[in-house]
Amino acid sequence: MPIDEVEQLRGSLNHQVFLNVLGGEHTTVPLDDPTHILDVGTGTGDWAIKLAELYPDCEVVGTDIAAIAETQSVPMNVFFEIEDAEDWDRLPDHYDLIHFRSMEGAFRDWKLIYDNVFYSLKPGGYIELQDFDTTVGLDQFTGGFSEGSPIHNLFNDLAKAAARSGRPRGNAHMNANLFMEAGFVDVKVTEYMIPFSTAEQSAGKIWLISCLDALEALCLRLLTEQMGWDPEKCKIACENAAREMANLARDPRKSNGMGVKIVVISGRKPRDSPLSPPQLRQIKPLDIEAESSC
């Protein structure tokens, strides 16, 4: 994903959508005087900064593969670090909460990520993922267009490109069974539906703006690298798709019943878990080569 000003604004818009859906709360897990919180894929850092404000005695660390988070005029207890979470390098038994948001398509091996999260949580600590179920929203959108609409080719090739890259899109990783296999208990999955709306300040409208602005960000690299699309033709296709989607959303008859789903899944490391050994699993270069040859 790009990290330009448009993408940073989109990240801030999505932050507002989550706040709206969660009733102003930033997390769904109970936190009792936390001392360490980790925000993986922090982006602009909005979530991490707010958690640092809510818990001034807690060290909040936000990590990302790019340095775009705000570092001026932020709480003294929030820190931002450049890190690829697939090269996990976090202390064992250390965090009260490890949080992920809008990380669809981020990792090759989510099971490995969950194992590493379990390793780094304190006994009794929580993991939480918050994400849009874009498969539902996009399927509804594309279903509103004729079979000959170019929008179908765009989204079909996007799904293929993501799979070829080794990081498929979708929410298959937000599965309670995967959490339980990693050792988490008290696993909870909650779904929220945001109806499409053009009403001012509605979560549906904010998400729609974010979604339309995201098309080029989602498609350009994947379609050009994995599917051989021409960059300029890809940009034009994204603009046309955004225009068609906006027109559909404005039509009260066609958009009736449409919405986007937000999924929140959390789990807790058992309080009686033994302390973790001083090593952890990582994706090794040989693993990457093996995946690339498949």
pLDDT of residue 7: 80
Rounded distance between C-alpha atoms, residue 51 and residue 57, angstroms: 11
Read off φ and ψ for residue 225, nearest 5 degrees: -80, -40
What is the pLDDT, as a whole number, of residue 256? 74
Are 166 and 108 in contact, with CB atoms under 8 Å apart?
A: yes
Q: What is the pTM of this model?
A: 0.87
Would you call 141 helix, strand, or coil by DSSP?
helix
Q: Give the pLDDT of residue 139.
A: 67
Angle, CA of 88, 91 and 94, to the nearest 5° = 125
The dihedral built from the CA positions of residue 171, 3, 109 and 113, taken in this order, carries a sign that is: negative
The answer to whether 211 and 188 have CB atoms below 8 angstroms apart is no
**Average pLDDT of each block of 10 consecutive residues along the chain (294 residues)?**
78 88 94 97 93 97 86 90 93 97 92 96 97 71 70 87 90 94 97 76 78 85 94 92 82 76 95 82 46 38
**pLDDT computed for residue 285 by the predictor:** 43
Q: Give the CA angle between residues 221, 225, 217 to the nearest 5°.
A: 10
Cα separation, 85 vs 93, in Å, equals 17
Residue 294: the pLDDT is 37
Separation between Cα atoms, residue 144 and residue 23, nearest integer Å: 31
Amino acid residing at 171 = N
How, if at all, do strands 121-133 and 259-268 pair?
A: antiparallel
Residue ranges in 144-275 assigned as alpha helix (H): 150-164, 176-182, 203-226, 231-250
pLDDT at 220: 92
Taking CA atoms, 130 is separated from 28, 146, 269, in Å, by 10, 32, 18
How many other CB atoms are found less than 10 A from the CB of residue 209? 15
pLDDT score of 5: 80
